[in-house]
Amino acid sequence: MTHRILVFYGSYRSDRMGIRLAHFVVDGLRARGNDVELIDAKEVGLPMLDRMYKEHPKGQAPAVLETLAGKIRDADGFLFVTGEYNWGIQPGLKNLTDHFLEEWFWRPAAIASYSAGRFAGVRAATAWHGTLSEMGMVVVSSTIGAGPIAQTLSAEGKPIGEGGKALERAFPRFAEDFSWWIEAAKAQRARKAPPY
């Protein structure tokens, strides 16, 4: 069964390492037959949050918000690729997600994290769990992390070294867990309309 999955990536740095993990998960999900699109916060280029999508009069939101809102509403699930900045989450990715709210509801989200160090962004992943839950998503319990990312994935997002081997071993269970929740949510939405 094909699922429509959006992969969100949020670094604005000029020498971005996390794009490696974004490419790895996009390739891995596509290899499983999914329809996957990478949404790069830097390329989308939303301004700092002043007005959420829903706060614009209907039909008057900027085109970039309207387009992204449609993609979010049409998706079956979301995967957030997050780096760790000083034990916290990336501001670019957080800013992008905060422009929307109801558009996220009733779909599962998965988290893939990374860092330059050996903790692989686990603190950012933990912070994102609560944030995404508050935004109406069911966050799957399985996560994956890459760290040190430069020793785990090549510039093209291909596994390298022992870290890469560990990431390859972890990915199938992560993807299966995510897929199970996507299927469960789709079935429930088809059976019964969300309560709000």
Q: Is the pLDDT confidence value at 85 over 90?
A: no
Q: Are 69 and 99 in contact (CB under 8 A)?
A: no
pLDDT of 196 reads: 83
Residue 110 located in a structural domain: yes
When divided into structural domains, the chain yields a total of 1
CATH number, position 178: 3.40.50.360
Neighbours of 45 (CB within 10 A): 11
Kindly report each contact of residues 154-162 with a partner whose C-beta sits within 8 Å and lies 24 or more positions away, as own/partner.
154/20, 155/20, 156/20, 156/23, 157/19, 157/20, 157/21, 157/22, 157/23, 157/24, 157/26, 157/27, 158/24, 159/24
Q: Residue 125's domain spans which residues?
A: 4-191
Nearest to 77 by CA among 1, 155, 157, 163: 1
Residue 138 located in a structural domain: yes
pLDDT in tens, 111-141: 999 999 889 999 999 999 999 999 999 999 9
CA–CA distance, 137 with 124 (Å, rounded to integer):
17
Residue 196 located in a structural domain: no
Its pTM stands at 0.96
pLDDT in tens, 138-182: 999 999 999 999 999 999 999 999 999 999 999 999 999 999 999
